[in-house]
Structure 1
Amino acid sequence: MSLKEKKDKSEKLSPSSLLNRFTSKKETKEPIKQEFDSEKVDFPFKTDSNNEHSAFEDFFLRVKKACADTNLAENVDLISTPQISDALQKLTGFNGVIPLLKPLNGQKVFGKVFTASTKELDWGTSVKAIDSASKGQVIFIFVEGNDNAVWGELTSKTALMKGISGTIIHGACRDLGALKKMNYPVFSTNIVPNAGKPLLEGQINTEINLDGIIVNPGDYILGDECGVVLIPQDIFEDVINVLWEIKNSEKEIISQISKGRSLLEILGMD
C-alpha cells in the first residue's frame, strides 16, 4: 500500500470523518429530536419547555457558565478534550491539542487564558501572574527550560484563594504530594523537586508561540485526564456548535450500541 493510500485510509477512519458519516445519515431521522426532548434522556442538561432559548442556546449558555465557574462539579461531563479536539479538527483541520501537558492531580479545568512566559530559573513571574490574573481565569505559563519548577504548593494555594480556575505549565512543577490534596487543577510537562529564584524577569498577558501553536490572552482552554486543548476565542461559538452536533451523534450511537447493533454497522463501515 502506498503512502497516499495509507493517508486516504486513515482520513476515512478518523473520529471526525466517522461522525460526519453518521451525522449525514441521521439528519433525516426525526426520532432523534423526539428522544432529545424526552426527560428520560441522560444528556448534559435538561430542557425547559417554557424557556425561549433553543436547545443549543441552552447548551451554549451552560458551557459559558462552566467556563467562568471555578467549580466544575456540576458540569464535569459537559465537555471533554476528545470531543473539543474532534470539533476543532472538523471545523479548522487542527486538533487544538497542546502536546505533553498532563494533569498532576486528576482535576479538570476550563476557562479563559491568562498567559505568562519566563525562564526555568524564574518562578517570580508565576507569582506576578497570580496577582494580575482575574477570578475564573486559567494561568498558562510557558517556560524556557524544563529542569526547574516555576510552580508548586504555595503558588497553588495563593491562586486558589484568589479564585483562579487552575494553572497549566508548559514546564516543570513541584510539590506533587501537596497538590494531590488540594482542590486546585494543575497541569505540567514535568515534575521536579527543585526551583529557581523570584527573578520577575518574564512577561505576562502576551502572545505565546509554542512551535506554531499560538496561545493568546482570552483564548479558551480545557484540560482533563486526556490532556489540554486550546480554543481560539474568535471561533469559540462555532466550536461549541460543532461540539453540540458531535455530542448528539455520539448520544445516538451509544443508544444504538446498547440495543445490540454493531459499531461497524452503525458507522457504515461494514
Structure 2
Amino acid sequence: MTLTPIAYTQIPRLDKSLISRASKSTVADLHEGLGAIASRQGLMHTGMRPVWTGAKICGQAVTSYNYPGDNLLLHVAAKLAEPGDVIVATNGGSAQGALWGDMITYYAQKKGIAGAVIDGAARDTGKLREMAFPVFSTAIAVSHPEKRGPGSVNVPMVVAGVTVNPGDLIVADDDGVLVIPPELVAPAVENAEARAAKEEAFRSKLDDGSSMYELLGLQKDVEACGLQMVENTWRDAQ
C-alpha cells in the first residue's frame, strides 16, 4: 500500500449477469462453494454483523481506508462508486468517529449503491433500518467523525480480518460477510447453485421419510470414528 493518500477512480468490473446469479445464493452456499481454503480466507470475522436483521448485500467492493476518527475518504469512495457497488470501509476497526450514518445512507440509496460494510462504527441505526439500506459493521457508536484525512480509496486493505481488493465481490446476509476474488466468483456461484439444488432434492427425500443420517451416508463415518453403540441408558450401564 502506498504511503501517499491516493484515490483510484476505477475498479476491475465483473459481468453483471454473474453478480446477479451470485445475489440469488446465500453466504453459506457461496462459502461452501469456494472450497476449504478460499472460503476461510474470505470470511470476515463474526464481529461484522448486519445493523438490522435481514439485510443482504451483493456487489463489487469500492474500498475506503480511513484514519481513525475520520471519514473523509469514505465520502470520496461514495462519490466514485457506481450503482450496484458496495462501499467497504475501515479505520482499523476503531469505534472512535462513526464511519457511516443516515445522511451518507440517504445519498448512497439515491445513487443506487448496493450497501456498506464498515470495519468501524455505524450510527443512526434506527433510521438505517427504516430506510432498509443494508449496512454491516463491527461497532455501533455515535462518536463524531472528522473530515480531514489522510486515507486512500480503491486500494487493497484488511477488513475484519480479510484482505479486500477493489473489485472483489462482497456477499453478505445474516450469516456474515464473504469476500470473493473476481477469478473465483464463477466457480463459487456454480458450486453454490449445485449445492442449493442438491439440498432441495434432500428436502423432497426428507418429506418422503428419509433421515439426514441416511442421506449423508454417515454410517461409515460413525464406524471410522470408533463410536460404541450401547443398547441401554447411561445409568444402567454403570
Whether TM exceeds 0.5 here: the answer is yes
The superposition leaves residues 45-71 of structure 1 with CA deviations (integer Å, 9 ceiling, x where unpaired) of: xxxxxxxxxxxxxxx98553366xxxx
Change (3 A) 1:167 1:93: closer
SS at 2:25 equivalent: coil
Question: In 2 relative to 1, CA 61–166 (structure 1 residues): closer, same or farther, beyond 3 Å?
Answer: closer
- The equivalent position to 1:98 in structure 2, one of 44, 61, 66, is 44
CA separation of 1:242 and 1:164: change in aligned 2, threshold 3 A: same
> Does the CA contact (< 8 Å) of 1:91 and 1:242 recur in 2?
no
Equivalents in 2 of 1:61, 1:202: separation in Å?
Answer: 29
Q: 1:93 to 1:200 in 2, by over 3 A?
A: closer
Partner of 1:80: 26
Question: 2:178: which partner in 1?
Answer: 229
Contact kept? 2:51, 2:136, Cα under 8 Å = yes
Deviation at 1:112, TM superposition (A): 0.7
Aligned to 1:114: 62
SS of structure 2 residue aligned to 1:83: helix
Structure 2: runs of 5 or more not aligned: 1-14, 220-238
Residues 113 and 220 of structure 1 are in contact (CA less than 8 Å); yes or no, is this contact kept in structure 2? yes
Q: Which residue of 2 aligns with 1:269?
A: 218
3-state SS of 2:40 partner: coil
Summarize deviations over 1:109-152 as a string: whole Å, max 9, x none.
10111000112311222111111111110000011222331110
Partner of 1:207: 156
* 1:89 equivalenced with 2:44 (yes/no): no
CA contact (8 A) 2:121 2:139 kept: yes
- Cα distance change on mapping 1:269 and 1:61 into 2, 3 Å: farther
Judged with a 3 Å threshold, the aligned counterparts in structure 2 of structure 1 residues 66 and 164 are, in CA distance, closer, same or farther, namely: farther
Identical columns (%): 27
Within 2, Cα distance between the matches of 1:87 and 1:233?
14
SS of 1:199 mapped into structure 2: coil
Q: Which amino acid aligns with 1:168?
A: V
Which residue of structure 2 aligns with residue 47 of structure 1?
A: none
CA RMSD of aligned residues (A): 2.1
Matched positions, count: 202
Output the amino acid matched with 1:246. Answer: R
| 2:138 partner letter | T
1:266 CA drift (Å): 0.7
Aligned pair 1:126/2:74, yes or no?
Answer: yes
Shift of 1:209: 2.8
For residue 187 of structure 1, what is the aligned residue in structure 2? 136
The Cα of 1:211 is off from its aligned counterpart by: 7.7
Tell me the residue number matched to 1:173: 122
**Which residue of 2 is the match for residue 40 of structure 1?**
none
Gaps of 5+ in 1: 1-59, 68-74
Q: Which amino acid aligns with 2:56?
A: K
Deviations 1:63-120 (A, max 9, x none): 53366xxxxxxx6xx2111111111134746362111211112321101110001123
Contact 1:116 1:140 in 2 (8 A): yes
Counterpart residue number, 2:90: 142
Higher helix content, 1 or 2? 1
CA distance, structure 1, for counterparts of residue 164 and residue 128 of structure 2: 25
Give the 4+ runs in structure 1 shifted more than 2 A: 60-67, 89-96, 209-213
- How has the CA–CA distance of structure 1 residues 160 and 201 changed in structure 2, closer, same or farther, with 3 Å as cutoff? same
The answer on whether the counterparts of 2:50 and 2:173 sit within 8 Å (CA) in structure 1 is: yes
Question: What is the rounded CA distance, in whole Å, between the counterparts of 1:62 and 1:260 in structure 2?
Answer: 38
Equivalent position SS for 1:187: strand
Larger relative CO (CA 8 A, sep 6+): 1 or 2?
2
Q: 1:139 to 1:66 in 2, by over 3 A?
A: farther
